[in-house]
Structure 1
Amino acid sequence: MTAPNAAPRRALIVVDVQNDYDGGGLPIVHPPFAESIAAIGRAMDAATAAGIPVVVIRQNAPETAPIFARGSHGGTLHPVVANRPRDHLIDKALPSAFTGTDLESWLRARAIETITVVGYMTHNCDLSTVIHALHMGFAVEVLSDATGSLAYANRAGRATAEEIHRVCLVVMQARFAAVLPTDEWIAGLASGELPPRDTIFGSARAGAAL
Protein backbone atom coordinates (compact mmCIF):
# COMPACT_ATOMS: atom_id res chain seq x y z
CA MET A 1 0.00 0.00 0.00
CA THR A 2 1.16 3.53 -0.68
CA ALA A 3 0.46 6.65 1.30
CA PRO A 4 -1.60 9.31 -0.50
CA ASN A 5 -0.88 13.04 -0.47
CA ALA A 6 -4.13 13.67 1.40
CA ALA A 7 -6.62 11.39 3.09
CA PRO A 8 -9.87 10.93 1.17
CA ARG A 9 -13.01 12.53 2.55
CA ARG A 10 -14.77 9.46 3.92
CA ALA A 11 -18.11 8.61 5.44
CA LEU A 12 -18.89 5.36 7.25
CA ILE A 13 -22.17 3.84 6.06
CA VAL A 14 -23.66 1.46 8.64
CA VAL A 15 -26.23 -0.63 6.78
CA ASP A 16 -29.25 -2.24 8.45
CA VAL A 17 -27.72 -3.33 11.74
CA GLN A 18 -31.06 -4.38 13.19
CA ASN A 19 -32.19 -6.98 15.69
CA ASP A 20 -33.64 -9.35 13.09
CA TYR A 21 -30.05 -10.22 12.20
CA ASP A 22 -29.21 -11.10 15.80
CA GLY A 23 -31.07 -14.39 16.17
CA GLY A 24 -34.28 -12.94 14.72
CA GLY A 25 -35.93 -13.52 11.37
CA LEU A 26 -32.63 -13.42 9.43
CA PRO A 27 -29.86 -14.59 11.78
CA ILE A 28 -26.39 -13.88 10.42
CA VAL A 29 -24.24 -17.01 10.23
CA HIS A 30 -20.89 -16.06 8.66
CA PRO A 31 -18.92 -14.44 10.07
CA PRO A 32 -20.63 -15.16 13.38
CA PHE A 33 -22.85 -12.27 14.42
CA ALA A 34 -20.95 -11.68 17.67
CA GLU A 35 -17.75 -11.13 15.68
CA SER A 36 -19.20 -8.89 13.00
CA ILE A 37 -21.18 -6.72 15.41
CA ALA A 38 -18.03 -6.16 17.47
CA ALA A 39 -16.17 -5.10 14.33
CA ILE A 40 -18.98 -2.71 13.44
CA GLY A 41 -18.69 -1.13 16.86
CA ARG A 42 -14.92 -0.72 16.44
CA ALA A 43 -15.38 0.87 13.03
CA MET A 44 -17.95 3.34 14.37
CA ASP A 45 -15.71 4.28 17.30
CA ALA A 46 -12.70 4.77 15.02
CA ALA A 47 -14.70 6.86 12.57
CA THR A 48 -16.01 9.11 15.33
CA ALA A 49 -12.51 9.53 16.78
CA ALA A 50 -11.15 10.43 13.33
CA GLY A 51 -13.92 12.92 12.56
CA ILE A 52 -15.41 10.72 9.83
CA PRO A 53 -19.20 11.17 9.49
CA VAL A 54 -21.26 8.13 10.43
CA VAL A 55 -24.48 7.47 8.51
CA VAL A 56 -26.79 4.80 9.91
CA ILE A 57 -29.21 3.09 7.51
CA ARG A 58 -32.37 1.34 8.71
CA GLN A 59 -34.55 -1.00 6.65
CA ASN A 60 -38.25 -0.33 7.10
CA ALA A 61 -40.97 -2.81 6.14
CA PRO A 62 -44.74 -2.68 6.65
CA GLU A 63 -46.04 -3.57 10.11
CA THR A 64 -47.29 -6.96 8.81
CA ALA A 65 -43.94 -7.98 7.26
CA PRO A 66 -42.13 -11.05 8.66
CA ILE A 67 -38.84 -9.11 8.98
CA PHE A 68 -37.94 -5.49 9.72
CA ALA A 69 -41.57 -4.65 10.47
CA ARG A 70 -42.03 -1.03 11.42
CA GLY A 71 -42.25 -0.72 15.21
CA SER A 72 -41.12 -4.30 15.88
CA HIS A 73 -38.15 -5.45 17.96
CA GLY A 74 -36.62 -7.09 14.88
CA GLY A 75 -36.79 -3.84 12.94
CA THR A 76 -35.15 -1.80 15.71
CA LEU A 77 -31.50 -0.82 15.46
CA HIS A 78 -29.17 -3.14 17.35
CA PRO A 79 -27.94 -1.57 20.61
CA VAL A 80 -24.31 -1.60 19.41
CA VAL A 81 -25.32 0.89 16.72
CA ALA A 82 -28.22 2.62 18.45
CA ASN A 83 -26.10 3.55 21.47
CA ARG A 84 -23.23 5.08 19.48
CA PRO A 85 -22.99 8.58 17.99
CA ARG A 86 -24.16 9.10 14.43
CA ASP A 87 -24.36 12.07 12.10
CA HIS A 88 -27.37 11.03 10.04
CA LEU A 89 -30.11 8.37 10.15
CA ILE A 90 -31.80 7.19 6.97
CA ASP A 91 -34.80 4.90 6.57
CA LYS A 92 -35.00 2.92 3.35
CA ALA A 93 -37.37 0.45 1.70
CA LEU A 94 -35.15 -1.11 -0.99
CA PRO A 95 -31.73 -2.80 -0.87
CA SER A 96 -29.53 0.13 -1.91
CA ALA A 97 -29.08 2.82 0.73
CA PHE A 98 -29.20 5.37 -2.12
CA THR A 99 -32.58 4.43 -3.59
CA GLY A 100 -35.38 6.71 -2.47
CA THR A 101 -33.24 8.40 0.20
CA ASP A 102 -31.21 11.59 0.63
CA LEU A 103 -27.91 9.72 1.05
CA GLU A 104 -26.33 10.96 -2.17
CA SER A 105 -27.23 14.61 -1.58
CA TRP A 106 -26.09 14.38 2.06
CA LEU A 107 -22.71 13.01 0.97
CA ARG A 108 -22.28 15.50 -1.88
CA ALA A 109 -23.06 18.43 0.42
CA ARG A 110 -20.12 17.35 2.58
CA ALA A 111 -17.78 16.67 -0.36
CA ILE A 112 -17.48 13.00 0.57
CA GLU A 113 -15.34 11.07 -1.90
CA THR A 114 -15.17 7.60 -0.35
CA ILE A 115 -17.78 5.58 1.50
CA THR A 116 -16.85 2.73 3.82
CA VAL A 117 -19.61 0.13 4.09
CA VAL A 118 -20.34 -2.09 7.09
CA GLY A 119 -23.48 -3.92 8.14
CA TYR A 120 -25.81 -6.48 6.66
CA MET A 121 -26.10 -8.42 4.51
CA THR A 122 -22.90 -8.75 2.50
CA HIS A 123 -24.72 -10.09 -0.55
CA ASN A 124 -27.88 -7.98 -0.47
CA CYS A 125 -28.07 -4.43 0.88
CA ASP A 126 -24.28 -4.05 1.17
CA LEU A 127 -23.67 -5.27 -2.38
CA SER A 128 -26.51 -3.14 -3.77
CA THR A 129 -25.20 -0.04 -2.00
CA VAL A 130 -21.63 -0.68 -3.13
CA ILE A 131 -22.54 -1.08 -6.80
CA HIS A 132 -24.87 1.92 -6.70
CA ALA A 133 -22.13 4.06 -5.12
CA LEU A 134 -19.59 3.10 -7.79
CA HIS A 135 -22.03 4.09 -10.53
CA MET A 136 -22.42 7.48 -8.83
CA GLY A 137 -18.68 8.06 -8.85
CA PHE A 138 -17.85 7.35 -5.20
CA ALA A 139 -14.85 5.27 -4.21
CA VAL A 140 -15.95 2.41 -1.96
CA GLU A 141 -14.43 0.39 0.85
CA VAL A 142 -16.00 -2.69 2.47
CA LEU A 143 -14.90 -4.00 5.85
CA SER A 144 -14.95 -7.76 5.38
CA ASP A 145 -15.35 -8.79 9.02
CA ALA A 146 -17.96 -6.10 9.76
CA THR A 147 -20.48 -7.63 7.39
CA GLY A 148 -22.17 -11.03 7.23
CA SER A 149 -24.31 -13.48 5.33
CA LEU A 150 -26.60 -16.46 5.85
CA ALA A 151 -27.29 -19.58 3.80
CA TYR A 152 -29.74 -19.62 0.89
CA ALA A 153 -31.67 -22.39 -0.84
CA ASN A 154 -34.15 -21.76 -3.65
CA ARG A 155 -35.03 -23.00 -7.13
CA ALA A 156 -31.71 -21.72 -8.48
CA GLY A 157 -29.70 -23.85 -6.04
CA ARG A 158 -28.13 -23.52 -2.64
CA ALA A 159 -25.11 -21.86 -1.05
CA THR A 160 -23.71 -21.72 2.44
CA ALA A 161 -23.30 -18.47 4.33
CA GLU A 162 -19.53 -18.77 4.03
CA GLU A 163 -19.73 -19.27 0.25
CA ILE A 164 -22.05 -16.31 -0.27
CA HIS A 165 -19.99 -13.99 1.94
CA ARG A 166 -16.63 -15.00 0.45
CA VAL A 167 -17.69 -14.93 -3.19
CA CYS A 168 -19.41 -11.56 -2.86
CA LEU A 169 -16.29 -10.06 -1.29
CA VAL A 170 -14.09 -11.48 -4.08
CA VAL A 171 -16.43 -10.01 -6.71
CA MET A 172 -16.49 -6.62 -4.99
CA GLN A 173 -12.70 -6.49 -4.69
CA ALA A 174 -12.35 -7.23 -8.40
CA ARG A 175 -14.12 -4.03 -9.47
CA PHE A 176 -16.46 -2.36 -7.03
CA ALA A 177 -14.58 -1.77 -3.78
CA ALA A 178 -11.45 -2.17 -1.73
CA VAL A 179 -12.17 -5.01 0.70
CA LEU A 180 -10.22 -5.19 3.95
CA PRO A 181 -10.57 -6.16 7.62
CA THR A 182 -11.70 -3.57 10.13
CA ASP A 183 -8.42 -3.42 12.06
CA GLU A 184 -6.47 -2.80 8.83
CA TRP A 185 -8.88 0.02 7.95
CA ILE A 186 -8.47 1.58 11.40
CA ALA A 187 -4.67 1.38 11.08
CA GLY A 188 -4.94 3.08 7.68
CA LEU A 189 -6.84 5.98 9.20
CA ALA A 190 -3.80 6.66 11.37
CA SER A 191 -1.11 6.00 8.76
CA GLY A 192 -2.83 7.52 5.73
CA GLU A 193 -2.27 4.36 3.73
CA LEU A 194 -5.02 3.42 1.30
CA PRO A 195 -6.17 -0.19 0.84
CA PRO A 196 -5.16 -1.92 -2.40
CA ARG A 197 -7.67 -2.26 -5.20
CA ASP A 198 -7.83 -4.94 -7.87
CA THR A 199 -9.24 -5.11 -11.38
CA ILE A 200 -11.43 -7.55 -13.28
CA PHE A 201 -8.56 -8.30 -15.66
CA GLY A 202 -6.02 -8.89 -12.91
CA SER A 203 -8.44 -10.96 -10.87
CA ALA A 204 -9.33 -13.08 -13.89
CA ARG A 205 -5.68 -13.73 -14.75
CA ALA A 206 -4.90 -14.69 -11.16
CA GLY A 207 -7.98 -16.95 -11.12
CA ALA A 208 -6.96 -18.67 -14.34
CA ALA A 209 -3.61 -19.52 -12.83
CA LEU A 210 -5.12 -21.40 -9.88
Structure 2
Amino acid sequence: MSRALIVIDVQNDYIGGQLPIEYPPVEQSLANIGLAMDSAQAVAIPVVVVQNILPETAPFMAKGTHGAELHQVVASRNRDHYLAKSLPSAFANTGLEEWLRERGIDTITIVGYMTHNCDLSTVVDGMHKGFAVELLADATGSLPYANCAGSASAEEIHRVMTVVMQSRFAAVMSTEEWIEALATGVQPKRDNIFSSNQQARRMGKTERY
Protein backbone atom coordinates (compact mmCIF):
# COMPACT_ATOMS: atom_id res chain seq x y z
CA MET A 1 0.00 0.00 0.00
CA SER A 2 1.28 3.44 -0.97
CA ARG A 3 -0.67 6.38 0.41
CA ALA A 4 -1.07 10.08 -0.28
CA LEU A 5 -2.87 12.53 2.00
CA ILE A 6 -5.25 14.80 0.07
CA VAL A 7 -6.01 18.02 1.96
CA ILE A 8 -9.10 19.56 0.38
CA ASP A 9 -10.14 23.22 0.47
CA VAL A 10 -9.05 24.22 3.97
CA GLN A 11 -9.77 27.86 3.20
CA ASN A 12 -10.74 30.88 5.24
CA ASP A 13 -14.34 31.05 4.04
CA TYR A 14 -14.97 27.75 5.85
CA ILE A 15 -13.45 29.03 9.08
CA GLY A 16 -15.54 31.99 10.19
CA GLY A 17 -16.07 33.23 6.65
CA GLN A 18 -18.94 33.04 4.18
CA LEU A 19 -19.54 29.28 4.68
CA PRO A 20 -18.61 28.48 8.28
CA ILE A 21 -18.22 24.77 9.05
CA GLU A 22 -20.44 23.77 11.98
CA TYR A 23 -20.01 20.04 12.55
CA PRO A 24 -17.75 18.65 13.80
CA PRO A 25 -16.61 21.89 15.51
CA VAL A 26 -14.21 23.55 13.10
CA GLU A 27 -11.52 24.00 15.75
CA GLN A 28 -11.51 20.22 16.22
CA SER A 29 -11.33 19.40 12.52
CA LEU A 30 -8.61 21.99 11.94
CA ALA A 31 -6.48 20.52 14.71
CA ASN A 32 -6.91 17.04 13.23
CA ILE A 33 -6.06 18.24 9.72
CA GLY A 34 -2.82 19.67 11.06
CA LEU A 35 -2.14 16.45 12.97
CA ALA A 36 -2.79 14.34 9.86
CA MET A 37 -0.41 16.49 7.79
CA ASP A 38 2.33 16.26 10.43
CA SER A 39 1.84 12.51 10.80
CA ALA A 40 2.00 11.99 7.04
CA GLN A 41 5.19 14.00 6.73
CA ALA A 42 6.76 12.03 9.59
CA VAL A 43 6.45 8.76 7.67
CA ALA A 44 7.10 10.16 4.17
CA ILE A 45 3.49 10.03 2.96
CA PRO A 46 3.16 12.74 0.30
CA VAL A 47 0.76 15.56 1.09
CA VAL A 48 -1.32 17.11 -1.67
CA VAL A 49 -2.96 20.45 -0.89
CA VAL A 50 -6.03 21.38 -2.92
CA GLN A 51 -7.46 24.89 -3.15
CA ASN A 52 -10.85 25.81 -4.61
CA ILE A 53 -10.71 29.04 -6.62
CA LEU A 54 -13.95 30.48 -7.98
CA PRO A 55 -14.56 33.48 -10.28
CA GLU A 56 -14.18 36.98 -8.85
CA THR A 57 -17.97 37.42 -8.88
CA ALA A 58 -18.63 34.32 -6.74
CA PRO A 59 -20.20 34.84 -3.27
CA PHE A 60 -17.51 32.74 -1.60
CA MET A 61 -13.94 31.62 -2.35
CA ALA A 62 -13.73 34.23 -5.06
CA LYS A 63 -10.35 34.66 -6.68
CA GLY A 64 -8.23 37.23 -4.89
CA THR A 65 -10.26 37.31 -1.66
CA HIS A 66 -9.18 36.47 1.87
CA GLY A 67 -11.88 33.82 2.01
CA ALA A 68 -10.29 31.93 -0.87
CA GLU A 69 -6.87 31.81 0.77
CA LEU A 70 -5.63 28.64 2.47
CA HIS A 71 -6.07 28.69 6.24
CA GLN A 72 -2.84 29.04 8.17
CA VAL A 73 -3.14 25.50 9.56
CA VAL A 74 -2.45 24.26 6.03
CA ALA A 75 -0.56 27.21 4.58
CA SER A 76 2.07 27.05 7.35
CA ARG A 77 2.86 23.36 6.78
CA ASN A 78 4.98 21.59 4.21
CA ARG A 79 3.36 19.97 1.20
CA ASP A 80 4.57 17.82 -1.66
CA HIS A 81 2.13 18.98 -4.31
CA TYR A 82 -0.38 21.78 -4.80
CA LEU A 83 -3.29 22.02 -7.17
CA ALA A 84 -6.12 24.46 -7.77
CA LYS A 85 -9.59 23.41 -8.81
CA SER A 86 -12.94 24.95 -9.66
CA LEU A 87 -15.15 21.83 -9.51
CA PRO A 88 -16.01 19.69 -6.46
CA SER A 89 -13.76 16.69 -7.15
CA ALA A 90 -10.02 17.12 -6.64
CA PHE A 91 -9.64 14.89 -9.71
CA ALA A 92 -11.62 17.18 -12.04
CA ASN A 93 -9.27 18.85 -14.56
CA THR A 94 -6.37 18.98 -12.11
CA GLY A 95 -3.98 16.23 -13.17
CA LEU A 96 -4.21 14.65 -9.71
CA GLU A 97 -4.75 11.15 -11.03
CA GLU A 98 -1.67 11.32 -13.23
CA TRP A 99 0.44 12.70 -10.37
CA LEU A 100 -0.62 9.82 -8.12
CA ARG A 101 -0.10 7.15 -10.80
CA GLU A 102 3.40 8.40 -11.59
CA ARG A 103 4.35 7.81 -7.95
CA GLY A 104 2.74 4.39 -7.64
CA ILE A 105 0.17 5.62 -5.12
CA ASP A 106 -2.83 3.32 -4.76
CA THR A 107 -4.48 4.70 -1.60
CA ILE A 108 -5.69 8.22 -0.89
CA THR A 109 -6.62 9.61 2.50
CA ILE A 110 -8.96 12.59 2.43
CA VAL A 111 -9.27 15.43 4.92
CA GLY A 112 -10.70 18.93 4.59
CA TYR A 113 -13.98 20.45 3.53
CA MET A 114 -16.79 19.86 2.96
CA THR A 115 -17.71 16.30 3.92
CA HIS A 116 -20.78 16.23 1.69
CA ASN A 117 -19.48 18.17 -1.30
CA CYS A 118 -15.82 18.23 -2.38
CA ASP A 119 -14.82 15.40 -0.04
CA LEU A 120 -17.70 13.20 -1.21
CA SER A 121 -17.02 13.99 -4.87
CA THR A 122 -13.33 13.16 -4.50
CA VAL A 123 -14.09 9.96 -2.57
CA VAL A 124 -16.49 8.66 -5.21
CA ASP A 125 -14.28 9.78 -8.08
CA GLY A 126 -11.24 8.18 -6.49
CA MET A 127 -13.03 4.88 -5.92
CA HIS A 128 -14.26 4.82 -9.51
CA LYS A 129 -10.68 5.37 -10.68
CA GLY A 130 -9.53 2.32 -8.72
CA PHE A 131 -7.91 3.93 -5.69
CA ALA A 132 -8.49 2.64 -2.18
CA VAL A 133 -10.00 5.62 -0.38
CA GLU A 134 -9.91 6.65 3.27
CA LEU A 135 -11.76 9.53 4.93
CA LEU A 136 -10.86 10.96 8.33
CA ALA A 137 -14.28 11.93 9.66
CA ASP A 138 -13.03 14.18 12.46
CA ALA A 139 -10.75 16.05 10.06
CA THR A 140 -13.65 17.01 7.78
CA GLY A 141 -16.84 18.99 8.35
CA SER A 142 -20.25 20.07 7.14
CA LEU A 143 -22.65 23.00 7.39
CA PRO A 144 -26.47 23.13 7.36
CA TYR A 145 -28.64 23.35 4.25
CA ALA A 146 -32.21 24.42 3.51
CA ASN A 147 -33.64 24.50 0.01
CA CYS A 148 -36.70 23.41 -1.98
CA ALA A 149 -35.92 19.76 -1.20
CA GLY A 150 -36.01 20.31 2.57
CA SER A 151 -33.51 21.03 5.31
CA ALA A 152 -30.78 19.25 7.27
CA SER A 153 -28.44 20.23 10.05
CA ALA A 154 -24.67 20.10 9.70
CA GLU A 155 -24.57 17.11 12.05
CA GLU A 156 -27.20 15.23 10.03
CA ILE A 157 -25.41 15.87 6.74
CA HIS A 158 -22.01 14.87 8.11
CA ARG A 159 -23.32 11.74 9.83
CA VAL A 160 -25.34 10.49 6.86
CA MET A 161 -22.60 11.18 4.34
CA THR A 162 -19.96 9.34 6.37
CA VAL A 163 -22.28 6.35 6.83
CA VAL A 164 -22.94 6.27 3.08
CA MET A 165 -19.24 6.55 2.24
CA GLN A 166 -18.35 3.74 4.67
CA SER A 167 -20.98 1.51 3.06
CA ARG A 168 -19.22 1.40 -0.31
CA PHE A 169 -16.82 4.15 -1.19
CA ALA A 170 -14.26 4.63 1.59
CA ALA A 171 -12.89 3.44 4.90
CA VAL A 172 -14.11 6.08 7.34
CA MET A 173 -12.15 6.52 10.55
CA SER A 174 -10.86 9.05 13.05
CA THR A 175 -7.50 10.74 12.73
CA GLU A 176 -6.26 8.80 15.76
CA GLU A 177 -7.31 5.49 14.18
CA TRP A 178 -5.53 6.43 10.96
CA ILE A 179 -2.30 7.30 12.75
CA GLU A 180 -2.48 3.97 14.58
CA ALA A 181 -3.00 2.17 11.25
CA LEU A 182 0.10 3.89 9.87
CA ALA A 183 2.11 2.61 12.83
CA THR A 184 0.76 -0.96 12.87
CA GLY A 185 0.05 -1.60 9.20
CA VAL A 186 -3.42 -2.89 10.10
CA GLN A 187 -5.90 -2.33 7.28
CA PRO A 188 -8.90 -0.13 8.14
CA LYS A 189 -12.35 -1.70 8.23
CA ARG A 190 -14.34 -1.50 5.01
CA ASP A 191 -18.05 -2.25 4.90
CA ASN A 192 -20.36 -2.86 1.97
CA ILE A 193 -23.92 -2.03 1.00
CA PHE A 194 -25.35 -5.43 1.94
CA SER A 195 -23.74 -5.72 5.38
CA SER A 196 -24.59 -2.11 6.18
CA ASN A 197 -28.23 -2.71 5.34
CA GLN A 198 -28.35 -5.98 7.23
CA GLN A 199 -26.94 -4.36 10.35
CA ALA A 200 -29.48 -1.52 10.11
CA ARG A 201 -32.33 -4.03 9.75
CA ARG A 202 -31.13 -5.93 12.82
CA MET A 203 -30.95 -2.67 14.76
CA GLY A 204 -34.46 -1.80 13.64
CA LYS A 205 -35.83 -5.13 14.87
CA THR A 206 -34.09 -4.69 18.21
CA GLU A 207 -35.59 -1.23 18.67
CA ARG A 208 -39.12 -2.58 18.06
CA TYR A 209 -38.91 -5.10 20.89
The bucket for the TM-score relative to the shorter chain is: over 0.9
1:9 alignment partner in structure 2: 2
Q: Following TM superposition, by how much is the alpha carbon of 1:63 offset from its aligned partner in structure 2, in angstroms? A: 1.2
Q: Which amino acid aligns with 1:185?
A: W
- 1:23 match: secondary structure: coil
1:112 alignment partner in structure 2: 105
Q: Following TM superposition, by how much is the alpha carbon of 1:64 offset from its aligned partner in structure 2, in angstroms? A: 1.7
- 2:135 match: secondary structure: strand
Structure 2 unaligned spans of 5+: 204-209
Distance 1:42 1:149 in 2: 19
Structure 1 unaligned spans of 5+: 1-7
2:189 alignment partner in structure 1: 196
Q: 2:69 aligns with which of 58, 65, 76?
A: 76
TM-score normalised by structure 2 residue count: 0.96
Q: 1:52 aligns with which of 40, 45, 51?
A: 45
Higher helix proportion = 2
Alignment of 1:29-178 (within 5 A): 29-178=22-171
Identity %: 63
The list of structure 1 runs, each at least 4 consecutive aligned residues, that deviate by more than 4 angstroms after superposition, is: none
- 1:29 match: secondary structure: coil
Distance 2:81 2:170 in 1: 23
Q: Which amino acid aligns with 2:100?
A: L
Q: Following TM superposition, by how much is the alpha carbon of 1:71 offset from its aligned partner in structure 2, in angstroms? A: 1.1
* Equivalent residue pairs, number: 203
TM-score normalised by structure 1 residue count: 0.96
Distance 1:79 1:70 in 2: 18
- 2:67 match: secondary structure: coil
Q: Following TM superposition, by how much is the alpha carbon of 1:200 offset from its aligned partner in structure 2, in angstroms? A: 0.3
- 1:209 match: secondary structure: helix
Distance 1:151 1:173 in 2: 21
Distance 2:30 2:159 in 1: 18
